[in-house]
Amino acid sequence: MLIDTYGRVATDLRVSLTDRCNLRCTYCMPEEGLQWLAKPDLLTDDEIVRLIRIAVTSLGITEVRFTGGEPLLRPGLVSLVERCAALRPRPRISLTTNGIGLARTATALADAGLDRVNVSLDTLRPDVFQKLTRRKRHQDVLDGLAAARAAGLAPVKINAVLMPGLNDDEAPDLLAWALGLGYELRFIEQMPLDAQHGWRRDGMITAADILARLAARFDLTPEGEGERGAAPAERWLVDGGPGRVGVIASVTRPFCGACDRTRLTADGQIRNCLFAREESDLRAALRSGATDEEIAGRWKRAMHGKKAGSGLDDPSFLQPQRPMSAIGG
């Protein structure tokens, strides 16, 4: 069991498969991209599967989410999903993606055992998409969403970040569109994880801002606390339901007290918090011949030292050196 000193138990493993991405979202990385990890630094498929096996069979992990960078850029993703789905007890398996390439892979991923997807889409307007991502791939994302729905990867969840002066007027339109197609939309506050370290608290669109915009068109009824559990999104029924909308307010309404996540980076580091500035190296243990028991022990120690909160409200908060693309969302 992965338990920390505050009694929180991690059951949800986020696995970054690559730091590379085929978009250049303004809130994530600079236009020229980043210095990517060298291939020898990345975990191999066998190493990833071994760590997931240890997590599932020895440490109480019940959910595995593959992330990036952009995980669809990882060769062999379908095989990784299939091998993960073959584990016993079988974890629930999901994928966070920008949706590019999902149109050609959704069916194969579903057949391999993927349960559902989260797709990032911040705008319905192709011109705004290009400004936000610096790429003309809007239709590819829409096609990927449709393919995921057709493949049965439900519920298909959409993650949207609102940026001032770009798409902050689109919240009601995004929600109406998502509801009409049966997608579950979640708005995410912009977090201080950009490679440029340009994030400013006073420049972000907050959860309160988002809800005010939505309330101008929709009747929102909050779900009870019992419905949320350890999920990061607060959810509201829209116009009485059954449609819902979620808001992940990591900055203004942190949910650290219920956090149940542990994170494995593409180069084999354990992070016990998205905003941690320290990591624990499992890659070195793997490659030096450590036993499963020794690796499990290192993982337990890494999680045991998890802090009470992210520290975002502390004046001394320092943004992690590694950006979102290297950490895995």
- The residue whose two tokens read 């890494």 is 302
Cis peptide before 75 (omega within 30 of 0): no
Residues making up the binding site for [4Fe-4S] cluster: 21, 25, 28, 256, 259, 273
Q: What is the dihedral of CA 226, 227, 228, 233, to 10 degrees?
A: -150
Residues making up the binding site for GTP: 14, 65, 96, 157, 261-263
Q: Which residues of 285-296 are buried (b: 16+ CB within 10 A; e: fewer)?
A: bbeeeeeeeebb
Residues making up the binding site: 14, 21, 25, 27-28, 65, 69, 96, 120, 157, 191, 256, 259, 261-263, 273
Residues making up the binding site for S-adenosyl-L-methionine: 27, 69, 120, 191
Calpha distance 273→249 (Å, rounded): 15
| Cα Dmax for the chain | 59
3-state secondary structure the chain: CEECCCCCEECEEEEECCCCCCCCCCCCCCCCCCCCCCHHHCCCHHHHHHHHHHHHHHCCCCEEEEECCCHHHCCCHHHHHHHHHCCCCCCEEEEEECCCCHHHHHHHHHHHCCCEEEEECCCCCHHHHHHHHCCCCHHHHHHHHHHHHHCCCCCCEEEECCCCCCCCCCHHHHHHHHHHHCCEEEEECCCCCCCCCCCCHHHCCCHHHHHHHHHCCCCEEECCHHHHCCCCCEEEEECCCCCEEEEECCCCCCCHHHCCEEEECCCCEEECCCCCCCCEECHHHHHCCCCHHHHHHHHHHHHHCCCCCCCCCCCCCCCCCCCHHHHCC
